[in-house]
Amino acid sequence: MEATENKLLNSFDEYILCSDCFKDYGLILQAQKIGINNKEACINCCSTEGSKLTGKLIQDIASLFFVEGTISKSKYGACPIIQFNYSNPGDSFDDFSDELRKDMALIESKIGLKFFTMGQGYG
């Protein structure tokens, strides 16, 4: 098992981020929607107001926001434009906003997810 997978497994029960850690409005809303209401200070940003997120919840947000949120439908089916795992080198996403790129880097640093594009037609 790789170190990044261990990082996620070790963070399943502990709060490691909160909705206030994110800069992108869509990610903030998703984190508020599925995060846990808890007045403890976030260990990342010290906010007591943000919805707290475990590693598992962060992975769920990444799946909902980046994978399901980028599904491209075509005449012959559909597939997500963005995917993630723990082993790909990741893409740079230069055309994304600064806020979103910073949030992606934060997710990668905390639970080891690496985002990449699927197939052709992007970028």
pLDDT digits (tens, 9 = 90+) for 26-65: 999 999 999 999 999 999 999 999 999 999 999 999 999 9
pLDDT class of 120 with cuts at 50, 70, 90: low
Mean of the per-residue pLDDT values for the chain?
86
Residue 71 in any domain: the answer is: yes
Number of separate domains in the chain: 1
What CA–CA distances, in Å, run from 60 to 30, 63, 67, 71, 121? Answer: 10, 5, 10, 16, 26
Residue 123 in any domain: the answer is: no
State which residues form the domain around 66: 3-117
Residue 53 in any domain: the answer is: yes
Residue 83 in any domain: the answer is: yes
Residue 110 in any domain: the answer is: yes
Among residues 75, 17, 10, 77, which one has the least CA distance to residue 47?
A: 17
Residue 20 in any domain: the answer is: yes
Residue 122 in any domain: the answer is: no
10, pLDDT greater than 70 = no
pTM over 0.85: no
